[in-house]
Amino acid sequence: MNTGSMGNAGPKLPRDVRVHVNVDEQCAAAARFVVGELASALARAPRASFALAGGSTPKRLFERLVKEHARALDWSRVHCFFGDERCVPFDSPDSNFRAANESLFEPLAIPRASIHPMPAEALDHDAAAREHERELRAFFGASEMFDVAMLGMGEDGHVASLFPGEPALAERERWVVHVETRAKPPPHRLTLTLPAFARSRTVFFLLGGESKRDALHRVLEPRDDADRALPAARVTARERIVWFVDRAAHP
């Protein structure tokens, strides 16, 4: 099933959904997958790039990477980015940077030069989005982007800070935009766009729990244009999209 966005010329990607009996199994498998992808990237080039998801789910994966794969890679060569960020201070409990810093960057001693936070504390959110886009374009050039991009999914099918029916979802040119939303607090966020995610070599989703079941079913088995228009259904990638889900979300 091509989970490309409507009208997107994204490649026709085979559907790869991996259902695990519980969160532990799910995160163990996802951690092995991430390390495999990053190791392949480091075999091809001096550095790899990994875009992290926000929210609460990634913490379990990060902890698994630290516990079981700290020596699997030269993590200093893995450049970490964010799929989205809340416009809050970096020490806020709502900060995706803070969560990743505490559970991944510090435990793995990833150097600051390999970490690329979104400018969440800037007062001018649109200028901050444009500044981060300049950083991404300078880092990646015009050709490709993340070796691996990780995404969660909300109960409404949102990914990153791309919410159903909101303007950022329709962005076709910019890679980073500011959104103001009532769909999920905090309201002000910076997010990568669908064209940005589409430049990733590999995208993988990590999600679980019964609360995600309906949205996941709609995305994987779309019945109408409304289902096909859900943000998670419109994500594309250059080579593959893999779903790591648990039984509670995918009975």
- By CB under 6 A, name the binding residues for ligand 6PG: 53-57, 83-84, 96, 152-154, 158-160, 184
- A 10 A CB-CB count for 113 gives 8
Closer Cβ to ligand 6PG, 84 or 147, answer by number: 84
Distance CA 162, CA 177 (A): 10
Q: How far is the CB of 206 from ligand 6PG (least distance, A)?
A: 8
Closer Cβ to ligand 6PG, 73 or 212, answer by number: 212
Closer Cβ to ligand 6PG, 59 or 77, answer by number: 59
Q: How far is the CB of 86 from ligand 6PG (least distance, A)?
A: 6
**Strands of the sheet with 176-180, listed across from one edge:** 84-86, 188-192, 176-180
Closer Cβ to ligand 6PG, 73 or 193, answer by number: 193
Q: How far is the CB of 44 from ligand 6PG (least distance, A)?
A: 28
If DSSP codes are grouped into helix, strand and coil, which group holds residue 142? Answer: coil
Distance CA 179, CA 218 (A): 24
Q: How far is the CB of 84 from ligand 6PG (least distance, A)?
A: 5
DSSP one-letter string for 212-250:
GHHHHHHHHS--SHHHHTSGGGG---SSEEEEEEETTT-
